[in-house]
Structure 1
């Protein structure tokens, strides 16, 4: 039996579109998986038969009884995702779907999207973000066994080790947010007394609004490598809506934002919405703060004691070691292999 993992190849971006997938492919290869290279392309004008032929070429080495971990969505097209899984099923391959996004939970499951519930039920195992996502998918009709990843890993072998850890005497308490700012247009109306530095891609209107706000520092967007060099030794904010509601805010009830892993892997405690799916993990492991509203920042941050901050930094520094080593993905892959082949191993 050989193990394979999809490798989505696309241009470098200043957001997390490709970063998480690239890291998972690298972690898979470190754990004995061979890559299946999939180039993002426009499949709108291809027939299903042409897509099937393309999939056959990509998976020429995959044989009956092998295991394929497919990163969903591939962002090629819903038809490509569907044909890929159909082809693997017909070939007698064990399929693990490693989920990055669930459109039906994000509220974007339109007519041209994969019909996700039957699609998820057509594979052997799902790797989902967390138990909250798993329970919601069960409510929606998913019966496939699921494994929780809990956090996305964040690989980084390119920076000096000083960029990975924050000592108490280095901690500034500065507030920082990195991400796709198309989802965070509310930031232009930032009215908190606590100043914030914001980086990421945005349109002209959002960029102008950020630069016009005296409480916001907006230097623009950085590549993945350069971003690390501009991270402060402070708090990382993971927030996609001013009220926690709306399309993106509600989605945080189920997903684990990539920016949380960016922060934790580089010595920054995270601040998240207390209704976010990642909030229980942050609280249980002393990795930052959970708040109900951005208005809480002006009250909570000044009231933090040195002991509380030191405790958070110690836990964040330790968790960062695991994130940079690919621990959570490797753990999920191992558990998915067990479920795919034997269900649950009985040791006594």
Structure 2
């Protein structure tokens, strides 16, 4: 069996837009997958036939009995997504959709976006974020076999060990937030006593608010390697919205944020919303703290003992080894191969 994985080629960015897909393609290649290079482009003025011909060129070597892992969404167009899976099936290949985002769960599955329910049901298997997302997709009548990834991996072989691991004596009860700050406008009104270092893309108004707040140390938007070199040794905050009723907040109930993997893979315990999908994993594996409100942070950290911190750092440092090696994606790929070709296996 020949195995393929889509490798999305797009411009470098200071957020997680391309990083997760780049890492997954690299992990697939490490596991024996050949890359299918897809360049991001604007297909608005392209005919159906032109898009289909382009896909034929990209996938010319794919034949019957092959397996193709398609990283969804490619963010070219719904037509591209539809034609890709249809053309692979017409050749007799199996298709696994490795899902980065689900618009129907984010409340944005409108307009010219793909109708995800029938689209996902075309797949021979889905790699989803976690069982909570899987249960919600089942409620929406998605019947394709599902495999949970649990965490996004975060590859890093470019930094010395002191950037990857945290010793108890160098850890501080401070906060770090990295990401797209358009989703985190609450920061401009940050009133907690706990110091916070902030990294990420923001418009002029948000930047001014961050720089004017004496409790915030704003570093701007940094590239991946530069960001890692400057991350303080504190708690990584994964908190996108001050209102969990909005699109970003409610979506946190189902997805696993890329920033959680950034923090854990570099020796940083995390603080997440107690109702986030990733919260049970964090709690059960001693990887950080879960809270209902940001107002809890000052008291929680003040009462956190040295032994608790040491225990968290031990678990985080060990989990980081797996994340930097691509463990969670590798595990999901093997399970998805089984589901696509055989389904559940009775080993008794």
Shorter-chain TM-score bucket reads: over 0.9
The residue aligned with 1:220 is 220
Aligned to 2:186: 186
Residue in 1 that maps onto 2:288: 288
CA deviations over 1:208-237 (Å, ceiling 9, x no partner): 111111111111010001000011111000
Query: Matched residues in 1 for 2:235 and 2:301: separation?
Result: 10
1-structure distance, mates of 2:51, 2:343: 32
Query: Hey, what does 1:46 align to over in structure 2?
Result: 46
> Deviation digits for residues 58-117 of structure 1, max 9, x if unmatched?
000000110000000001122111111111111111000000000000111112001000
Kindly report structure 1 stretches of 4+ aligned residues shifted beyond 6 Å. none
Q: 1:244–1:273: 8 Å Cα contact kept in structure 2? A: no
Per the alignment, residue 173 of structure 1 pairs with: 173
Mapped to 2, the partners of 1:344 and 1:82 lie a distance apart of: 27
Shift of 1:347: 2.3
| TM-score normalised by the chain length of structure 1 | 0.99
SS of match in other structure, 2:201: coil
- Which residue number corresponds to residue 208 of structure 1? 208
Residue 183 of structure 1: how far off its partner (Å): 1.0
The residue number in structure 2 matching 1:196 is 196
**1:244-284, Cα deviation, whole Å (9 max, x unpaired):** 33110110000000000000000000000000000000000
CA distance in 1, matches of 2:85, 2:36: 13
CA contact (8 A) 1:8 1:21 kept: yes
The 3-state SS of whatever aligns with 1:37 is strand
CA distance in 1, matches of 2:64, 2:275: 43
User: Which residue matches 1:161?
Assistant: 161
Question: Would you say 1:9 and 2:9 are equivalent positions?
Answer: yes
Please give the alpha-carbon distance, in whole angstroms, between the structure 2 residues aligned to 1:61 and 1:141: 34
Aligned to 1:332: 332
Q: Deviation of residue 49 (structure 1)?
A: 0.9
Q: How many Å separate the matches in 1 of 2:346 and 2:249?
A: 41
Matched, 1:147 2:185: no
| Kept in 2: contact 1:243–1:293 (CA 8 A) | no
Contact 1:37/1:58 (8 A) holds in 2: yes
Deviations 1:145-183 (A, max 9, x none): 000000000000101111110011111122100001111
SS state of the match for residue 192, structure 1? coil
Distance 1:79 1:213 in 2: 46
* 1:112 partnered with 2:89: no
Judge which range, 29-38 or 179-188, deviates more.
179-188
Superposed, 1:238-317 pairs within 5 Å as: 238-317=238-317
Is residue 173–residue 194 contact of structure 2 (8 Å, CA) maintained in 1? Answer: no
Residue 346 (structure 1) shift: 2.5
TM-score computed with the length of structure 2 as normaliser: 0.99
Paired residues for 1:37-116 under 5 Å: 37-116=37-116
Q: For the residues of structure 2 that align with 1:78 and 1:193, how far apart are their CA atoms?
A: 46
CA distance in structure 1 between the aligned counterparts of 2:49 and 2:111, rounded to whole angstroms: 21
2-side partners of 1:16 and 1:81: how far apart? 21
